[in-house]
Amino acid sequence: MWIKKTKLLSFWTVILLVSLVGGVASAVSAIPETTNIVADIVEKVSPAVVNIDTLKMATYRSPLAPFFSDPFFRRFFEGIVPEERQVPIKGLGTGFVFRSDGYILTNEHVVSGADEIKVTFLDGREFEGKVIGSDTLTDIAVVKIEAQGLPTISLGDSDAARVGEWIIAIGNPYGLSHTVTVGVLSAKGRPIAAGDSGQEYENFLQTDAAINPGNSGGPLLNLEGEAIGINTAILPYAQGIGFAIPINMAKSILDQLITEGRVIRAWLGVVIQNLTPEMAEKFGLKEAEGALVADISPDSPAEKAGIKRGDVILKVDGIETPDIKTLQQTIRSHRPGDVVDVEIWRDGKVITLKVTLAELEESISALPVTEKIDLGLEVGEITPDLVDRYALREKSGVVIVGIKAGGPADDAGLRPGDVILEVNREEIKNLKDWEAAISEIEPGETVLLLISRAGQTYFVPLKAEEPQS
């Protein structure tokens, strides 16, 4: 009986294996012989993808430079140790041609400050590039080369892209030219901080296609071979998480970048925050929709029109603004000088105010490291641009707008967007106060800063160094 059962089990096992093999065989036979869709797309678009090599010249000051002020040491070191010398700093990135007459899209941070730009195509052709337009708020730049009849990549529709669809990234990671990676569109609408500046960018596309340093500026493609994004950032502590700027964001500013060299944006002049259900109840609203005005910039369009702290902006020119993101996008869709109807909720009533939008100034009133000491940071006045850029809540103080790698501020964990409120327990209201405070500090002293970050304050000690450059 045991032998019979064993034979019966073996019989059905054979039948199951035959069925599985037959199913796999039929599935394989159903696959077309030519399904190299990714390879076909890569072959088509790669001639329009370029490597971008940059060169910046930085001044290096010898650590022995302080001795050059003494005539004895100057005679000793002269001709042996240069007091200063120019040091080339190389960078690499990616770009892609979107117009056949030599217009290339890339990241602003790839070409920012470059003294020389070399553009190299897949076939080995090299051109000198020139930045004709850039925008730090979106991290987008347009580079022009003198050429005609170039291969191009079509700009797709990032709004129509669906989470989960297959995508392709092509770039120059670590100098490995025209590297291809494949993944899916993991998410849309991600706000992240990218680059050395700490700048927060909105509405990023997220992908699990491998993106590494050098991929920045390259195309993120759909299976139609269209660019739906510009690869730009990674999270260094994660795997399979990369980000790209939606191509629709680039398309909306391309004309201005080409004709004006910059993006001219409208400015309302309010500091806003999203409503929570609890806050909405306190303001007498049934739903937590609208942008709550937390503060107003002095002499701004909002102040001139009569908008007040505590108002809730519901609509702009009939377009509902249920949150901060929508309000910002709506205002940025207008031009300076446009008159818009702003519908607000105030004291249980809906009122409409006419607002004449002004231009958002991009300039930063930055104060470089002083000659007397080096804290490894640059600061600026609190301007409307910086309020918008870093979502600042403070009205007074100075904003950190730059951090020197390896300097005291960098070692202490400070970053752009931090606001300095005090120096050695003395209040800092503006750049004048800052300059006066640090002028009294000598190299080697410890400076105690009161920092405000995201609404929280804490003290940070920094060791003042001798300036090296």
Active-site choice (112, 158, 197, 216): 216
Q: How far apart are CA 273 and CA 312, in angstroms?
A: 10
| Measured torsion, CA atoms of residues 99, 168, 187, 290, in degrees rounded to the nearest 10 | 0
- Residue 243, classed as helix, strand or coil, is strand
Active-site choice (46, 109, 300, 388): 109
Tell me whether residue 11 is exposed, middle or buried, using C-beta atoms within 10 angstroms of its C-beta: 0 to 12, 13 to 18, 19 or more.
exposed
229 sits in which H/E element: strand 227-234
**Contact call for residues 244 and 230 (beta carbons, < 8 A):** yes
**Contact call for residues 185 and 376 (beta carbons, < 8 A):** no
Q: How far apart are CA 242 and CA 249, in angstroms?
A: 18
For the question of residue 216 being annotated catalytic, the response is: yes
**Contact call for residues 88 and 53 (beta carbons, < 8 A):** no
Residue with tokens 């708020």: 137
Question: What 8-state DSSP symbol labels residue 310?
Answer: T
Question: What 8-state DSSP symbol labels residue 35?
Answer: -
Count CA atoms within 13 Å of residue 75 on its CB side.
2
Q: Which of 176, 50, 175 is nearest to 125 (CA)?
A: 50
Find all residues with CB under 8 Å of 194, minimum gap 6, and list them: 109, 139, 200, 201, 232, 233, 243
**Contact call for residues 302 and 332 (beta carbons, < 8 A):** no
Structure-token pair, residue 146: 């003198």
Residue with tokens 């106060």: 433
Active-site choice (112, 134, 135, 139): 139
The residues annotated as belonging to the active site are: 109, 139, 216
